[in-house]
Structure formats: structure tokens, C-alpha cells
Chain A
Amino acid sequence: MLLAYILVPLLGAAIMPILRKIWQKGTDSVPILVTVYQIIITGWIAYQGIVLNGSLNLERWILDQVLALRLDGLSLVALLAIGLVSFVTVLFSLRYPLDEDRRPGYYALILLAVTGMNGLVVATDLFSMYVFLEIVSVASFILIAYQYDEFGMEGSFKYMMLSAVATVFLLVAVALLFAITGGVSFGELAQGVKTGGPVVFISFAFIFFALALKSGMMPFHGWLPDAYTASPAPVSILLAGIVTKIAGVYTMIRLVLEVFGFNSVFMNLLLVVGAVSTVLGAFFALGQKDFKRMLAYSSISQIGYIMMGLAAGTPLGLIGAVFHFFNHAIFKSLLFLNSGAVETATGTRNFDELGGLAEKMPVTGTTSVIGLLSTAGIPPLAGFWSKLVIIVALWMAGFKFFAFIAVFASIITLAYLLLLQRNVFFGKIKQGLEGIREVSPVVYWPAIIMAAITVFSGILFPLVYDKLLNPVNSLLGLLAK
């Protein structure tokens, strides 16, 4: 059952070369089928667990000793986000001008990235997690460099080198923990690290460093704007929407919950790093002239929020972090979808050359307003609730100063996003853009879907909180040692 999450996309990728020979059209439909399958099956598990059984308890489906896989509230949220974001990515790719000859290979790589993310989410041991993390990363390098332009190559190489350093440190930490605990599964590690000592501390520090690099937290963010800006539009939706969040943020949440525990030294460090990313990311975004680059810095800032929520170390903070994780996947992919739509329609992303697109592209303009209001945290959209929960959690955990920082950063967020909206969509139309038309429905429907999810999960927040997010809470009960 859970194995299907890994095997279905893997199989979909493996049959691409055969499909290309015998049924050219099928190469378009297979990735759509696979991602829709993932959304439906995840929704069905959630429905079964929540509506029929009251609430989703921590479930373990372990196929004897061979494949230890597990699904709980946290991984359910992550799997749903993966399904949604990869679905809109594939939809957007249908009309995106990619080289026809290499299109099947492109879809195969997207499906393999989905395989890697799913495997990472359901895995129960640190080493398997590393293997799947590496699948995601290597697939992303290739996708970033897909268009053979200089920027793509450069962004890809930067990401590659920093990611290489991150994985080396992660693996050395795995080896050190393996030496003293005698195993690599979460259970064995959690047992073994209780003793503490310098070796455990060093391996925690290495893992922390590796994941901070992978998620693009502020001192280590150098690769992130380049990789996002340089990649083709659909790839940047996938990267910004889900890949870096799964590779950096989900792994961090999972390892803190399962292995580290809320170690005070690292939680305080995480809080500071998160706050720095939140504020500086927002300030850097304010100075950008490029649509995607601004969104990339905004991503860094939002990741800071998630990390702060996690670092609060309370159930409420965890709920806020997980909900913001989901919301961020939705609204950031929505904004990147719009940047892709603007880029395909006008051929540029520079603010100086854009303006007044709202009347020519009504759907893109409207959905991007929803996306940015959700990012900035305006009620009743989903982004407001998750930020509110994080701020309240920080306040209640006694980190009042950091709660103020979170509020302050959200004001800057609103400022730069309004700047973006004014430069691109509002105002008088710029010269040379009079002939622009709305992009094709295949491109704007994904944006409408994402905007609808943002609106509904905001309005129905009490329901979402009760049914989907409280189960995440049960993880904390597991941790009470």
C-alpha cells in the first residue's frame, strides 16, 4: 500500500522511453495520471482515517523487516503537498516550450523527483532518507540545467556543490551515530542518542548544518535564488513549491521529532537562524528587480517562519510549522505559476519592463493577488492562520522577542509583495505590452486550483485544524519520554 507511493512514479518514469517509441501522446498523460493518483490515494487515506475513524492516529504499516515504511499525520500533509505541486507542475509543462525530443526524459525526471520525495516522506530510517534525498537532488540539478543556458548551468553547479557538501556532512553524521547506536533506523537512533556525549553532539551539529544548507537558511542561502531564477518556469514551481521544503524542512521536522528531541541548544540555534532568515530574506526581497528572484528571497523568509514554529518546541508551534509548510507549498507554487505565466506571455521577468498586466491577464492578476495576500498573512486566507499560530506559539513558549520579529517580518512581506503587484499587474500598461493576451487555460487552471485551495483552507481553518493538523500532534505524544 505505502510502497505504491514509491513504486508508481518510479514505474511511470521507467516506462517513458518505451512509451516514447510506441505512443507519443502517452508521455504527456502518464505524469498527470501518476500525480492525480497520488492526490486521490492520499485524500482517500485521510478520508478513511479522519471521517470514518474519527481522527487519524499514528499508524504504522511495516512490511516485516524488509521495508519499514510509515505514514502519520505529518507525512500525510507532506504527501498531499507533493501530489498537488507536482500535478500543477506537470499541467504547466504541457504547454511550456520544451524541446519535444527531450520531453519524455523531462517528465521521467519529474516523476523520479516525486519518487524521491515520496520515499523520503515514508521512510523510517536515516540512511534510506539520505538515498531518496539524493535522488531528489540529482534530478533537480539536471532539471535546472535543462535549457542549456548559462544561467541554468551556473545555478545547477552552485546547487550541486553546496548540496554535495551537505550530503557529505549528513553521511558522516549517520556514520558517527551508527558507530555508537549500532543501527540507522529512527527507533534505534533515538534509543542510542539518549546517552548524549560529544559524539552525539557533533553528529547533531553536522546534521543541522547539512539540513540548513539544503533548506537554504540565511547564512547558507547562496545557491537558492540562483537555482530558482535560472531554472525553466515549471521546474522552478517544483523546486520552490516542494523540493527544497521536503529536502530541508520536512527532514528537519522529522529528525527533530524522531531522533533529536527538542534539544535546547539546537532549538535556540534554530530559532535564531530562523529569525535571521525571516527578516533578512524579506529585506533582500524588497530590493529585487526580478519577479522570480523576489519570490526566491521570499521563500527563504517563509522557511524561516516554519523553522521558528518548529523551534518553539510546543505542540502548537509544530502545528503552525506543518500548516505553514503546506500553505507555503500552495501559495509559493501559485506565485511561481504566475511568474511563469507572465514570462511566457511577455518574455521578461524584469519589473522595469512590466506593468499594467492585470487588465490583459485578468486570471493571472487575480490569482496572484490571492497568493500574495496569503503569503503576507491577510485574513481569512490560509497564510494568515498559519502565521498566527506560529506567532502565538512563540509568544506562549516565552519567546516574545521572536514573536515580535515574526510580526515585523510579515509587514515587510506585505510591502515587497505589494511592490511586486504594483510593478507587474497594476498601473498603466507599459509600452510594447499592449498585444499581450491571457495565457492558455492549461496554464491558468492550475493557478485557479491553487488559489481555491488557499481560500478554502483559510475559510475552513477550524475544520482543517481539527481534522488534519491535530493528528500531527499525536507525534508529540510519542516524544514525551
Chain B
Amino acid sequence: MNNILVIDMIAVILLLGIGLYTLIVSRNLLRMLIGFEIMAKGVTLAIVSAGAYNGKLALSQTLAVTAIVVEVIFIAVALAIVMLIQRKKGSLDVRKITNLKG
């Protein structure tokens, strides 16, 4: 079982890497959300493979289901806000919406 877990965890790290890279480098708001979505897939895989490894598959599936529900609500709200930004600014470019200075 250890081999499978480690392979899955490598996949999780790669998914997080792809997602984070997309989130940081992209200038399009929707693509940033796609980056988050890729990371969220990695999270689902991490939870389920952890459960498959330690034998508590039922528990891990309930956790994964809850995580997916939360993720969907998050994405729905995020898309709503992105739509409002687009309606207001006429653009999805992240450079055009930054007025506030950190």
C-alpha cells in the first residue's frame, strides 16, 4: 500500500504545483480560478489516498465529499464575483482591476 500512497502523494504535489503556478502567473481572473480548481482536485486525491492507505476508506470518503461540496460553493461564489468584476470593468485582466496599493 505504501507504494500507491507515495505515488498518489507525488501526484498531489504535482497538482498543487500546476495549480499554484497557474494562480500566480496567470493574469486572467477565470484562469486563476481554474488554477484553484486544479489544486482542489489534488486535495481530493490526497484525502482519499490517505484513507485507502490507512484502511479508513469510509471516513476518508465522507471527508472528500464534504471537501467537494465546500469547493463547489466556493467556486460558485468566486465566479459570481468575477462576473460582477467583468460587468463593472469590462475586462478580466488582473492588471486592470488593481487600484489598491498593498
Contacts and interface: CB of A to CB of B under 8 A. Distances in A.
Interface of A: 127, 131, 134, 138, 141-142, 145, 148, 150-151, 153-157, 160-161, 164-165, 168, 171-172, 174-176, 178-180, 182-184, 221-222, 225-226, 229-230
19 contacts: A127-B63, A142-B81, A150-B97, A153-B88, A153-B97, A154-B99, A157-B85, A164-B36, A164-B39, A165-B23, A168-B39, A168-B43, A172-B12, A175-B47, A178-B54, A178-B56, A179-B50, A183-B56, A230-B100
Contacts of B56: 178, 182-183
Interface string B56-99: 10011001001100100110011001101100110000000111
Given A154-B100, A172-B42, A131 B66 contact: yes
Contact of A161 (B36, B63, B89): B36
Main secondary structure of the interface of A (DSSP, over half): helix
Contacts of A180: 54
B25 to A, nearest CB: 13
B36 A168 contact: yes
Range, interface on chain B = 35 or more
Contacts of B98: 154
A134 B70 contact: yes
Contact of A164 (B74, B89, B100): B74
A155 B100 contact: yes
A148 B42 CA distance: 33
A150 B88 contact: yes
B74 A178 contact: no
A178 B36 contact: no
Query: Which 3 pairs between the two chains have the least Cβ-Cβ distance?
Result: A179-B50, A175-B46, A226-B100
Q: Choose among A155, A160, A230 the residue with the greatest number of B CB atoms under 10 Å from its CB.
A: A160
Contact of A148 (B9, B23, B46, B84): B84
B27 to A, nearest CB: 13
Given A156-B81, A226-B100, A171 B12 contact: no
A142 B77 contact: yes
B21 interface: no
Given A150-B88, A172-B16, A178-B50, A157 B99 contact: no
A221 B32 CA distance: 20
A230 B100 CA distance: 9
B67 to A, nearest CB: 6
A165 B20 contact: yes
A168 B73 CA distance: 15
A160 B40 contact: no
A156 B9 CA distance: 32
A106 B54 CA distance: 43
B18 interface: no
A175 B66 CA distance: 13
A21 to B, nearest CB: 24
A334 to B, nearest CB: 25
A225 B102 contact: yes
Given A154-B99, A178-B60, A161 B23 contact: yes
A131 B102 contact: no
Nearest to A142: B77
A151 B99 contact: yes
A179 B53 contact: yes
Interface string B20-54: 10010000010010001001101100110111011
Given A141-B77, A164-B36, A184-B63, A178 B97 contact: no
